A and B are shown apart, each in its own frame.
Chain A
């Protein structure tokens, strides 16, 4: 070949690449100007999420400083008892619900797709919807303190102090409804992230090659699905008691305040690990980079993450060791609480061993990682202490526990997060934070933290209970408290140094992959390019940038998958969960205001409801459902203009997938798992009452009878059968038959919903009379609502069939709705068995 031909070829290649880059840039370009808030891409939403969560952190931190100032000297009168009670309630609530959990979602939304060389998460608009829910709910809950109306019952809101509307005001409603709204966002993020890890990995990234961060996200996502729904169930019962006087937690009418404690801590303890694991996941990425070697004991980390995930669900009652539980029950929880220390220990030793086996270099992230270890290990050791029930009888609800929980959360979550901020700052912002300021920030925070919280162990054991707005002299607490206050302000100074470093202009530009890390997120070079990754590489190792020669050049040259956006659409690869064999080119929806509008309307329903504006709340809620339907109708299950396309590297992939191959099906399955958990929590409530009452159902109540519940179950199952028939008919091309079956399913489901409600109605169960009546009503309402939502979904499919959105080959909606139907049928069956059949057996 002549030189001229080579030149011509090179020039043509370059022209082709330039055109590819332009098309990619056009497809993924961020919306600007007034449409900036219509962005849904993970890079933008993730950043909003992080900034918002961090703002809430600063807010809650200021609340803590006011509390520390109040406690600096005995009998201080800086704030009143009423204000102080709002301060500690809001401090705990905001730190846990508006900072610790959301910051996990925020960081994961931002960096997970990059790590998996995906261009976005599978449901970008869902991320955006979650973000707007979080922002609205968070501002609603936090803002209440400026009106003196903040919740004031402590962040775990024990009834009956908080259910009695004479003892607690609107703040409790704000807490319940605001947080329920945010929990929906958390579950949405969990669905998104689980599907992201399982289905959006690059070709060849088998399950044994996945970055450890992915493992942690997977486990934590699963934990959210099983941990948050019990709290949502508890919130429903709680709000019903406050609004409608249904006596779930009222001991005088057959309820039990301890039921709330169970539901809260079944959520609350796993939540600690939901907060802890993602931050440890950051360390699992940072440590190998600075040890200059792959992690030592990848399998052990998987053991630790999975093991912690499971065991964390067996610890909840160690928050309840003083309620007078039988010793043997305390023993079970004590045992699990000790056992969970084992995987945690493994986790820490994997890091230590990796550092020992590597050629460690130092950097600000490592400084924070070491500090995290020092603090967290101590918190873990005091955790082993309080896990022993006898010791906990003294330490419980004292400042010892305050110290312990801050050691675990700040060592296990905050310091790793700081390490992550220093580590990922160049990746997100393209500039380097100052090592000198970093050392200042670290030492101020580290010293300040220990000065503040180490003395609290002693303060607590010298008898100071938590949640007191002041304390008398001469109990020996003065010096300890003054020292703690000094430490808190020192730590705050450290946070200010960090804040200054992040915000100050003129930071040096970061080189590409400044830490010389091995994982794919560091492919990102110029943060101004919107596409995430130029082309999706095939992966064949755990640290591709270390172990795969020439990978970076190939990615930049567009030599791998999806180097182009020929149709001008946003596309990312979908692969199978175990071996990451590419299965589909997924077109993800572009920027839109619809998620924001839907979040505003749904949020409006919650907020207006808090203030008892029922009609307005109802209208807002209905409009919200309408907005969500409009969003789904226009943005999901779009039939592509051609069945498949060239994905690059000679691979042709379908553009449309249905059933278990589609990401939507997985999302529905995961969502319904969470929904099922909430339902099981309600059923747990029913049987909990059964265990505490010698006669259950109580003598006064005849139950909902047999006729209507059984009719309801029959109708529900008939509706389910009709759905199955519709799916089968549609798949074989009998569209008319499918439509008829869908209409029939709607009719049956509607009848089922009505029959469920008629049961307790006809037998005159009065939900304000006794907890039994109330829990039966809640169960049938739950089942009825599921039938009703089913009707909505079936109607959506029917409309889609008529509109040509759904055809025999493009049937995602119908398959997903049938999947929903499986769960709804199971719900109906269980409800019928519990409310109608169980009383016969007992």
Chain B
């Protein structure tokens, strides 16, 4: 599993943007399918995107918690450039933290169309 690891890896680094990718894909496919039907019914899809957004943000929060732990809970500041297991771990944790932030923003951005657009025109 990617979550609950003691060691940061390249996979844990890629988790938050992967969550964004899945969320994006879900929102796009759900809306495309709903708008393919006639007459379209976007209401349920907007709700589903809302739920998916909450779920995705939850996953990113978990990734954030784990990354925060890997980072050493802020015990040390960047640049994390010592040739040690500890600094490698902290570097990966720190980069993952940043990616969590970016992914969360991107997930919220992807959810905004569902907030502001209510039909398929």
Q: Do chains A and B touch in the complex (CB under 8 A)?
A: yes
A292-324 vs B, CB cutoff 8 Å, 1 = contact: the mask equals: 001001111011001101110110000000000
Given contacts A328-B31, A331-B112, contact A578 B88 (CB under 8 A): yes
Identify the closest chain A residue to B87 (Cβ). A208
On whether the beta carbons of A339 and B105 are closer than 8 Å, the reply is yes
The A-contacting residues of B in range 1-56, CB under 8 angstroms, are: 9-10, 13-14, 17-18, 20-21, 24, 27-28, 31-33, 35-36, 40, 42
Q: Is the CB of B17 within 8 A of A331?
A: no
Whether the Cβ atoms of A298 and B21 lie closer than 8 Å is: no
With known contacts A307-B99, A336-B106, A298–B79 Cβ distance under 8 A: yes
CB of A814 to closest CB in B, whole Å? 27
Question: A529 interface residue, CB < 8 Å from B?
Answer: no
B21 to chain A, nearest CB (A): 6
Q: Are B35 and A299 in contact (CB under 8 A)?
A: no
The answer to the question of A579 belonging to the interface, with a C-beta cut-off of 8 Å to chain B, is: yes
A539 at interface, CB cutoff 8 A: yes
Q: Is the CB of A207 within 8 A of B10?
A: yes
Q: Is the CB of B120 within 8 A of A299?
A: no
A interface residue count range (under 10 / 10 to 19 / 20 to 34 / 35 or more): 35 or more
Flag if A691 contacts B36 (CB, 8 Å). Answer: yes
Beta-carbon contact of B113 and A332 below 8 Å: yes
Bound CA span A542–B87, Å: 12
Given contacts A208-B80, A208-B87, A332-B110, contact A327 B120 (CB under 8 A): yes
Classify the secondary structure of A's interface with B: helix
For residue A204, CB closer than 8 A to chain B, the reply is yes
Most buried by A among B27, B42, B79, B83: B83
Say yes or no: A692 contacts B36, CB within 8 Å: yes
| Closest CB in chain B relative to A162 CB, distance in Å | 25
B98 within 8 A of A: yes
How far apart sit A339 and B23, CA to CA, in the bound complex (Å)? Answer: 14
**Shortest distance between the CB of B97 and any CB in chain A (Å):** 9
Chain B residues bordering chain A, tally (CB within 8 A): 46
Q: Does B75 contact A (CB under 8 A)?
A: no
Given contacts A297-B78, A314-B24, contact A208 B32 (CB under 8 A): no
Which among B9, B13, B14, B106 has the highest number of chain A CB atoms within 10 Å? B106
Contact A206 B83 (CB under 8 A): yes
What A residues does B103 contact at CB under 8 A?
307
CB pair A329–B81 under 8 Å, yes or no, is no
Q: Please name the residue on chain A nearest to B85 by beta carbon.
A: A579
Asked if A829 is at the interface of the complex by the 8 Å CB criterion, the answer is: no
Task: Confirm or deny: A239 has a beta carbon within 8 angstroms of a beta carbon on chain B.
Answer: no
B39 → A minimal CB distance (Å): 13
Q: How far is the CA of A98 from the CA of B48 in the complex (A)?
A: 44
In the complex, which residues of chain A have a beta carbon less than 8 angstroms from the beta carbon of B112? Answer: 331, 335
A95-130 interface with B by 8 A CB criterion: none
Whether A697 sits at the interface, judged by CB under 8 Å, is: no
A691, B17: Cβ atoms closer than 8 Å: no
Question: In the complex, A139→B24 CA distance in Å?
Answer: 40
Q: Is the CB of A336 within 8 A of B109?
A: yes
Cβ of A671 under 8 Å from chain B? no
In the complex, whether B57 has a CB less than 8 A from a CB of chain A is no
> Are A331 and B83 closer than 8 Å at their CB atoms?
no
A578→B9 contact, CB < 8 A: yes
- Quick check: B117 and A327 within 8 Å, CB to CB? yes
What residue of chain B has the Cβ atom nearest to residue A301's Cβ? B95
Contacts of A332 in B (CB 8 A): 24, 27-28, 31, 110, 113
Interface on A for B, CB 8 Å cutoff?
Answer: 204, 206-209, 294, 297-300, 302-303, 306-307, 309-311, 313-314, 326-332, 334-336, 338-339, 342-343, 539-542, 577-579, 691-692
Nearest first, the 6 A-B pairs at minimum CB distance are A331-B113, A208-B91, A310-B17, A303-B98, A335-B109, A540-B83
Mind listing 16 A-B residue pairs with CB under 8 Å?
A: A204-B83, A206-B87, A207-B10, A298-B78, A299-B95, A306-B95, A310-B21, A313-B21, A327-B119, A328-B42, A334-B113, A336-B24, A339-B105, A542-B79, A578-B9, A691-B36
